[in-house]
Structure 1
Amino acid sequence: MTAPFALQRIHHVAYRCREAKETVSFYERALGMRYTNAFAEDYVPSTGEFDPYMHVFLDCGGGNVLAFFELPNQPQMGRDENTPAWVQHLAFEVQDEAALLAAKTHLEGLGIEVLGPTYHGIFRSIYFFDPNGHRLELACNIGSADQYAELERLAPIMLQEWSVTKRAPKHASWLHQEGAVA
Structure 2
Amino acid sequence: MKIEQIHHVAYRCKNAKDTVEWYGKMLNMNFILAIAEDHVPSTHDPDPYMHVFLDAGNRNVLAFFELPTLPEMGRDPNTPVWTQHLAFKVKDREELLKFRDHLEANGVEVLGVTDHSIFHSIYFFDPSGHRLELACPDPEEDAMLAKLDTVKWDMLNEWDRTKKAPRHAAWMHEKELSEV
TM bracket, shorter-chain basis? over 0.9
Whether 1:48 aligns to 2:44 is yes
Whether 1:37 aligns to 2:33 is yes
Whether 1:174 aligns to 2:171 is yes
Stretch of structure 1 that moved more, 168-177 or 130-139: 168-177
Report sequence identity in percent: 58
Is the CA contact (8 Å cut-off) linking 2:119 and 2:141 kept in structure 1? no
Tell me the equivalent position of 2:69: 73
Is the CA contact (8 Å cut-off) linking 1:121 and 1:177 kept in structure 2? no
The counterpart of 2:94, out of the listed 95, 98, 105, is 98
Q: What secondary structure does 2:74 align onto?
A: coil
CA distance in 1 between partners of 2:9 and 2:141 (Å): 29
Q: What secondary structure does 1:61 align onto?
A: coil
For structure 1, list consecutive stretches of 5 or more residues without a partner in the other structure: none
Give the alignment's Cα RMSD to 1 decimal: 1.1
Query: Which amino acid in structure 2 is aligned with residue 61 of structure 1?
Result: G
Query: Which amino acid in structure 1 is aligned with residue 106 of structure 2?
Result: L
Whether 1:133 aligns to 2:129 is yes
CA distance in 2 between partners of 1:106 and 1:144 (Å): 26
Q: What secondary structure does 2:159 align onto?
A: helix
Stretch of structure 1 that moved more, 143-152 or 159-168: 143-152
How many residues are matched? Answer: 175
Query: Which amino acid in structure 2 is aligned with residue 107 of structure 1?
Result: L
CA distance in 1 between partners of 2:168 and 2:70 (Å): 46
Is the CA contact (8 Å cut-off) linking 1:55 and 1:67 kept in structure 2? yes
- Residues 100-147 of structure 1 show CA distances to partners (whole Å, capped at 9, x for unaligned) of 111100000111000000011101100000000000000001033221
Whether 1:62 aligns to 2:96 is no
CA distance in 1 between partners of 2:175 and 2:27 (Å): 28
CA distance in 2 between partners of 1:104 and 1:46 (Å): 39
Q: What secondary structure does 2:151 align onto?
A: helix
Is the CA contact (8 Å cut-off) linking 2:123 and 2:131 kept in structure 1? yes
Stretches of 4+ aligned residues off by more than 6 angstroms: none
Whether 1:144 aligns to 2:126 is no
The counterpart of 2:13, out of the listed 14, 17, 20, is 17
CA distance in 2 between partners of 1:16 and 1:113 (Å): 21
